[in-house]
C-alpha cells in the first residue's frame, strides 16, 4: 500500500513539473556584437608616389656692345626674351606614420587624420627656351643656344584631413580631403650650351602649403587592428626662383676695341603636384565592440 502511494505521488510531481516547464518562456540568445569604428588610432604606411614639377622658364638677355676708337665710342643694346616649359617626374617610394580619431553613427563614420611622410621623390628637367616667333629645336641645341636645367627633391610631406565613410560592418569605404604641406628643394643652372660664361646658378628650399583629396578602403582584422589602401592627389602650389649671371668679353681689331657685355636673367616658375598610393596598418585603442539587445 505504501509503495502504491509513493509511486502515485512521484507521478503527480513529475507531471506537474513538466507542465510548468512547458509554460515557462524560452530566453532568446542575444544578437552577436556589432563592430564600431569609434576611437583613437595610430599606424604606419608605405607606398609609392608619382610627383610632377611643371616648370616654365623665361630668360631675358640684355646684350650690350661698345665700340671704342680714337675718335670716341658708341654703344648698342639688344634685349631678347625667350621662353620654354617642360615637366620633371618626381617618382619615388615613401613611408610614414598617421594618427586620427573616428566617430561612428549607424553606418556612417566621421573622422580626422594627420600624417607625416618621408619620400625618395626626386627628378629633373632640361628646358631650351626660344624667342617669340622662333620654332623649337632639339634640346639641348647646338653650341651657343640657351638651355636651363632644374633638379627637384621632395624630402617630406604631411597632411591634415577630414574623413567621411560608410561601413559594411568591418569594412569601411571613405573619402578624405584637407591641407597638405611639403618641403621642396630645387637646384637651377642656366646658360648657353657649350659656352662657359655667362652661367647662372641658384637654389631654392621652401615649405609650401596646399591641399589634398582622395579616398580609400579600410578593413578590420580584429577589434583593434585594421589595414587600409589609400590614394591621394596633392597640390603643393608653386615656387618662383630667379638666377642671374653676366659676362664681359673684349677684343681688339686694329685700333678699334670691341667690348661685349651679356646679362642673363632666368626666371623659373614651378608647380608641384603629387599622386600617392599607399598601404597602411592601424591600431585602434579601445576598439569598442558594442552588443545591442
Give the structural domain span for 80.
Answer: 35-290
Name the burial class of residue 138, with classes exposed (0-12), middle (13-18) and buried (19+) by CB atoms within 10 angstroms of its CB.
Answer: exposed
Which has more confidence, 3 or 269?
269
pLDDT of res. 9: 42
In DSSP terms, 284 is beta-bridged to 41
User: Could you tell me which residues are beta bridge partners of residue 46?
Assistant: 95, 279
Q: Are 251 and 50 in contact (CB under 8 A)?
A: no
Model confidence over 112-136: pLDDT tens digits? 999 999 999 999 999 988 887 777 7
Answer whether residue 27 is part of any domain.
no
For residue 86, the domain's CATH number is 2.40.160.20
pLDDT at 69: 86
Buried b (16+ CB within 10 A) or exposed e, 214-241: bbbebebeebeebebebebebbbbbbeb
In a domain, 8, yes or no: no
235-280 pLDDT per residue, tens: 999 999 999 888 888 888 888 888 888 888 999 999 999 999 999 9
In a domain, 100, yes or no: yes
Asked if the structure places residue 274 within a domain, the reply is yes
The pLDDT, as a whole number, for residue 1 is 45
Q: What is the pLDDT of residue 107?
A: 95
Q: Which of 12-26, 29-43, 83-97, 157-171 has the lowest mean pLDDT?
A: 12-26
Q: How far apart are CA 258 and CA 15, in angstroms?
A: 131
When pLDDT is averaged across residues 196-212 and rounded to a whole number, the result is: 88
Q: Look at residue 147 in the predicted model and tell me its pLDDT.
A: 86
Confidence band for 209, pLDDT divided at 50, 70 and 90: very high
Evaluate whether residue 50 is within a structural domain: yes
**pLDDT of 35 higher than 60:** yes
Q: How far is CA 28 from CA 25, 31, 35, 293, in A?
A: 9, 9, 21, 10
How far apart (Å, rounded) are the C-alpha atoms in residues 16 and 19? 5
> Parallel, antiparallel, or unpaired: how do β-strands 146-168 and 108-127 relate?
antiparallel
pLDDT score of 290: 47
Global confidence as pTM: 0.80
pLDDT value at position 100? Answer: 98
Dump pLDDT digits (tens) for 141-195. 777 788 889 999 999 999 999 999 999 989 999 999 999 999 999 999 888 877 7
From the list 56, 121, 50, the residue with the least C-alpha distance to 271 is 56
Residue 30 has pLDDT above 60, yes or no: no
Kindly report the length of the chain: 293
Asked whether residue 177 is assigned to any structural domain, the reply reads: yes
72-81: list long-range contacts, CB under 8 Å, 24+ apart: 80/131, 81/131, 81/132
Grid cell at residue 278: 599607399
pLDDT of residue 247: 81
Is the pLDDT higher at 63 or at 33?
Answer: 63
Which tens digits make up the pLDDT trace of 78-115? 898 999 999 999 999 999 999 999 999 999 999 999 99
CB hemisphere CA count around 232 (13 angstroms):
32
Average pLDDT of span 207-226: 96
What pLDDT shows up at residue 156?
Answer: 98
> What's the domain count of the chain?
1
Can you give the pLDDT at residue 293? 39
- Average model confidence (pLDDT) for the chain? 86
Q: Does residue 168 sit within a domain?
A: yes
Query: Is residue 17 assigned to a domain?
Result: no
Amino acid at each position: 500500500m505504501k509503495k502504491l502511494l509513493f509511486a502515485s505521488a512521484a507521478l503527480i510531481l513529475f507531471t506537474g513539473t513538466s507542465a510548468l516547464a512547458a509554460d515557462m518562456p524560452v530566453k532568446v540568445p542575444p544578437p552577436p556584437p556589432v563592430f564600431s569604428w569609434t576611437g583613437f588610432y595610430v599606424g604606419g604606411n608605405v607606398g609609392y608616389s608619382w610627383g610632377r614639377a611643371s616648370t616654365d622658364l623665361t630668360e631675358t638677355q640684355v646684350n650690350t656692345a661698345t665700340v671704342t676708337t680714337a675718335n670716341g665710342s658708341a654703344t648698342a643694346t639688344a634685349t631678347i626674351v625667350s621662353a620654354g616649359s617642360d615637366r620633371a617626374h618626381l617618382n619615388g617610394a615613401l613611408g610614414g606614420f598617421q594618427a586620427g580619431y573616428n566617430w561612428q553613427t549607424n553606418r556612417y563614420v566621421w573622422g580626422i587624420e594627420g600624417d607625416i611622410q618621408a619620400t625618395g621623390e626626386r627628378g629633373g628637367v632640361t628646358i631650351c627656351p626660344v624667342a617669340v616667333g622662333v620654332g623649337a629645336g632639339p634640346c639641348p641645341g647646338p653650341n651657343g643656344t640657351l638651355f636651363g636645367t632644374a633638379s627637384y627633391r621632395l624630402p617630406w610631406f604631411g597632411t591634415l584631413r577630414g574623413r567621411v565613410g560608410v561601413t559594411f560592418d568591418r569594412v569601411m569605404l571613405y573619402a578624405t580631403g584637407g591641407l597638405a604641406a611639403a618641403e621642396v628643394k630645387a637646384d637651377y643652372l642656366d646658360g648657353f650650351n657649350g659656352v662657359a660664361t655667362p652661367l647662372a646658378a641658384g637654389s631654392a628650399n621652401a615649405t609650401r602649403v596646399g591641399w589634398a583629396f582622395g579616398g580609400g578602403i579600410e578593413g578590420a582584422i580584429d577589434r583593434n587592428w585594421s589595414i587600409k589602401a589609400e590614394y591621394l592627389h596633392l597640390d603643393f602650389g608653386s615656387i618662383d626662383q630667379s638666377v642671374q649671371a653676366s659676362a664681359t668679353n673684349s677684343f681688339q681689331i686694329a685700333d678699334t676695341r670691341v667690348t661685349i657685355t651679356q646679362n642673363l636673367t632666368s626666371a623659373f616658375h614651378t608647380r608641384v603636384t603629387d599622386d600617392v598610393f599607399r598601404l597602411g596598418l592601424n591600431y585602434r585603442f579601445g576598439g569598442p565592440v558594442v552588443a545591442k539587445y
